[in-house]
C-alpha cells in the first residue's frame, strides 16, 4: 500500500492540511528554496502537524543534522542534495529517527548512486526531478514530472522503500500510484496556490483521489504502526 507525503510545508495552517496524508515535509536551512524555514520556524510548523514529520536538509554538517533532529524530533531526516553515503551511515549510528535520501534520475553531479545510499543504510529513497531553468539546480519542488520508467527500474533493484516525486498532483496521482506502484508518493507544488503556500481545495481533491487509488491494496503501508 502506497503512503503519501505532503512536502514543502511553510506555515502552521498548511501543516494542519496534512491530515489524511501520512507525512508532513518541512525544509530547514535549504538556501536555494523559498519553502525553507529557520529551525525555530520549523518547530512551530512541526508542532501544528497532525501527522509524522520529515525534515529536509541540504548538505548539512553532521552537527547541524543532530541539532535539527534533537530540536524537532522528526520521524525522519531527509537528505536532499549531494550528501556522501558516509553521512547516512554516520547519522544512522547516532540518531533514533529514520534517515531518508533523495536521489535524482538522471543523477546530479557529485551525488552517489541510489544503490550506494541504500547500502549505506538509508531507510527510504525518494526519486525526484531536477530543474535548472532558473539558473541553478532546484533539487525538488520543481513541478517537473519525474522519470517514472527509471523509478520503476530502480524499485526492482533495491530493497528499501521507494517514494516517487516530481510533478505529481491531483490530475495524475491515480496514474502515479497505479502505474509505478511506489511505496510512497511525495509531492509539493501540485497542491500549492503559489510556491510555498498550500491550496486547500487542491489538497482535498488530491487526498480523495489518492484514497481511491490505493483502496484496492490490502498490505499495510510503509511506516504504519504495528
Specify the 3-state DSSP secondary structure of 124: strand
CB–CB of 38/64 below 8 Å?
no
- Top-level class of domain 3-214: alpha beta
Q: What is the pLDDT of residue 142?
A: 53
Q: What is the pLDDT of residue 71?
A: 98
Residues 6+ apart with CB under 8 A from 223: 3, 22, 23, 52, 75
What are phi and psi for residue 165, nearest 5 degrees?
A: -135, 170
CB–CB of 145/117 below 8 Å?
no
Q: What is the pLDDT of residue 12?
A: 97
Kindly give the confidence (pLDDT) of every residue in the chain, 226 residues in length, as a single tens digit, with 9 standing for 90 and above.
Answer: 899 999 999 999 999 999 999 999 999 999 988 999 999 999 999 999 999 999 999 999 999 999 999 999 999 999 999 999 999 999 999 999 999 999 987 777 889 999 999 999 999 999 987 654 445 455 555 556 678 888 999 999 999 999 999 889 999 999 999 999 999 999 999 999 999 999 999 999 999 999 999 986 645 445 555 4
Q: What is the pLDDT of residue 118?
A: 96
CB atoms within 10 A of CB 184: 24
User: 106 preceded by cis ω (within 30°)?
Assistant: yes
Q: What is the pLDDT of residue 218?
A: 46
Helix-, strand-, coil-residue percentages of the chain, each rounded to 5: 35, 25, 40
Q: What is the pLDDT of residue 140?
A: 54
Report residue 45 as a C-alpha cell: 510548523
CB–CB of 48/16 below 8 Å?
yes
Amino acid at each position: 500500500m502506497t503512503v503519501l507525503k505532503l512536502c514543502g510545508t511553510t506555515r502552521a495552517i498548511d501543516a494542519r492540511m496534512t491530515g489524511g496524508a501520512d507525512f508532513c515535509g518541512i525544509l530547514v536551512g535549504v538556501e536555494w528554496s523559498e519553502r525553507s524555514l529557520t529551525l525555530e520556524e520549523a518547530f512551530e510548523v512541526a508542532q501544528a502537524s497532525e501527522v509524522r514529520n520529515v525534515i529536509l536538509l541540504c548538505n548539512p554538517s553532521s552537527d547541524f543534522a543532530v541539532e535539527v533532529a534533537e530540536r524537532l524530533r522528526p520521524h525522519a531526516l531527509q537528505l536532499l542534495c549531494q550528501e556522501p553515503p558516509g553521512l547516512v551511515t554516520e547519522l544512522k549510528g547516532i540518531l533514533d529517527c529514520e534517515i531518508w535520501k533523495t536521489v535524482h534520475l538522471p543523477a546530479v553531479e557529485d551525488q552517489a548512486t541510489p544503490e550506494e545510499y541504500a547500502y549505506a543504510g538509508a531507510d527510504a529513497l525518494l526519486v525526484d526531478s531536477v530543474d535548472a531553468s532558473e539558473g541553478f539546480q532546484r533539487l525538488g519542488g520543481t513541478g517537473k514530472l519525474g522519470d517514472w520508467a527509471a523509478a520503476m527500474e530502480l524499485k526492482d533493484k533495491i530493497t528499501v522503500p521507494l517514494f516517487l516525486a516530481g510533478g505529481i498532483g491531483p490530475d495524475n496521482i491515480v496514474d502515479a500510484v497505479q502505474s509505478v506502484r511506489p511505496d510512497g508518493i511525495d509531492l509539493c507544488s501540485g497542491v500549492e496556490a503559489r510556491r510555498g503556500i498550500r491550496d486547500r481545495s487542491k489538497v482535498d481533491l488530491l487526498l480523495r483521489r489518492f484514497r481511491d487509488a490505493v483502496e484496492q491494496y490490502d498490505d499495510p503501508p510503509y511506516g504504519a504502526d504495528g
